[in-house]
Amino acid sequence: MLKNRVKHPVLYPSVPMTDIFEKFNSLNIMIIGDVMMDSYIWGKIERVSPEAPVPVVKVNKTENRLGGAANVALNVQSLGAKPFICAIIGEDKAGEEFLSLLRNQNLSELGILKIKDRPTTVKTRIIAHNKQIVRVDAETDENISKNETELIIGMIKKTLADQKIDAIIFQDYDKGLITENLISQVVKLADEAGIITVVDPKKRNFHSYKGVHLFKPNLKELQDGLKIIINPRIKEEVENAISKLKTQLGARAVMLTLSEHGVFIQSELGKRHIPAHKRDIADVSGAGDTVIATAALCLAAGMDEFKASEIANLAGGLVCEYVGVVPINKTRLLEESSKL
């Protein structure tokens, strides 16, 4: 772990949850990651196509929403904090629509870099009878150039100089924005400034996030990253894998999300399994965005990793009750968190 990181105060269970959630309103969170537009086509199925054995969806509504790292920003905003996005889009129609969505949500576009001849990532979901039928992705995952990386780092440095940033979230979808060079430079800047760094990783940069505060893979990402198979029901397998990863990264904490098996967290304070809460699951899309946003805010507000993981686990479950990618409802999360 990096030695200069500022120790944040720990808020113990005696502190009212309302006070903690109120503190969210004073926090500024930087989100560095792959933004995208989530496009939805809603309809119903009444027949099978005569051209091929596939259902015909009769469209009754279309909608575009902010997705990826931009959805993390929406969750940060929904919880009361101020998000600052650093990301890339293409110089295309989808990119303009993305910027329009940002403005409609009162999110700043100052940290968005437009890149010529690069498509804006768009994920189109076709939904019938409240179930996702198919998803169509328009994107590239090619890494940005060294010059483009330096432009992004320049934006990040300017934001850090102009704003009080309480936490930095890396929301990595392997779409080409986040590179090893960008990670190392930003983590160094954050460490020098005493800023918490939290990571929602993907495969390409999995082992590059050295010295971060919180590293949050899901089970598939952990297995891919360590190249092992883990049975989430076997405690020893989970604990051994997390211990190995924590040592490799030098991370202060690793939080493994296990879907219906809950969350496993290991930090300098110890280790703990947090069971999942029973939910009527409609759609898991975007749940990881909610978890990382909530965990970052809880840590920045002074909670320890265990309490932050508990509340983030709650938040991830709540958004799964809705179809499509939606941000967390702060009021409902506060109500459920207060019962813990």
Residue 188's nearest CA partner among 227, 160, 207 is 160
pLDDT in tens, 85-132: 999 999 999 999 999 999 999 999 999 999 999 999 999 999 999 888
What percentage of the chain reaches a pLDDT higher than 70?
92
Q: Decide if 289 is catalytic.
A: yes
pLDDT tens per residue, range 77-87: 999 999 999 99
More confident of the two residues 247 and 322: 247
Q: What is the extent of the structural domain holding 54?
A: 17-337
131-138: strand order across its sheet: 55-68, 35-48, 122-128, 131-138
The residue count of the chain comes to 340
pLDDT, greater one: 8 or 18 = 18
Tokens 């946003």 belong to which residue? 293
Report the number of distinct structural domains present in the chain.
1
Residue 105 lies in a domain: yes
Read off the tokens for 248. Answer: 């490799």
Specify the CATH number for the domain of residue 277.
3.40.1190.20
Q: Which of 166, 283, 289, 304 is catalytic?
A: 289
- Average pLDDT on 24-50 reads 96
- The answer to whether the CB of 126 falls within 8 A of the CB of 132 is yes
Per-residue pLDDT at 8 exceeds 90:
no
167 close to 296: Cβ distance less than 8 angstroms:
yes
Residue 11 pairs in a beta bridge with: none
Q: How deeply is 28 buried, as exposed, middle or buried, from its count of CB atoms within 10 A (0-12, 13-18, 19+)?
A: middle
4 falls within a domain: no
2 is a domain residue: no
Contact 277, 251 (CB under 8 A): no
Tell whether 49 is covered by a domain.
yes
If pLDDT is split at 50, 70 and 90, which confidence band does 6 have? Answer: very low
Q: Would residue 5 count as lying in a domain?
A: no
Could you give the CA distance from residue 168 to residue 313 in angstroms, rounded to a whole number?
A: 19
Tokens of 232: 């989430």
Residue 12 lies inside a defined structural domain of this protein: no
3-state helix, strand, coil in the chain (%, to 5): 40, 25, 35
* Predicted local confidence at residue 7, as pLDDT: 46
pLDDT, tens digit (0-9, with 9 covering 90-100), for 257-315 = 998 888 999 998 899 998 877 665 555 666 889 999 999 999 999 999 999 999 999 88
Report pLDDT for 339: 79
Instruction: Confirm whether 10 is domain-assigned.
Output: no
Q: Kindly state whether residue 1 falls inside one of the protein's structural domains.
A: no
Query: Under a CB-based contact definition with an 8 Å cutoff, are residues 29 and 167 in contact?
Result: yes
Structure tokens at 191: 């460490």
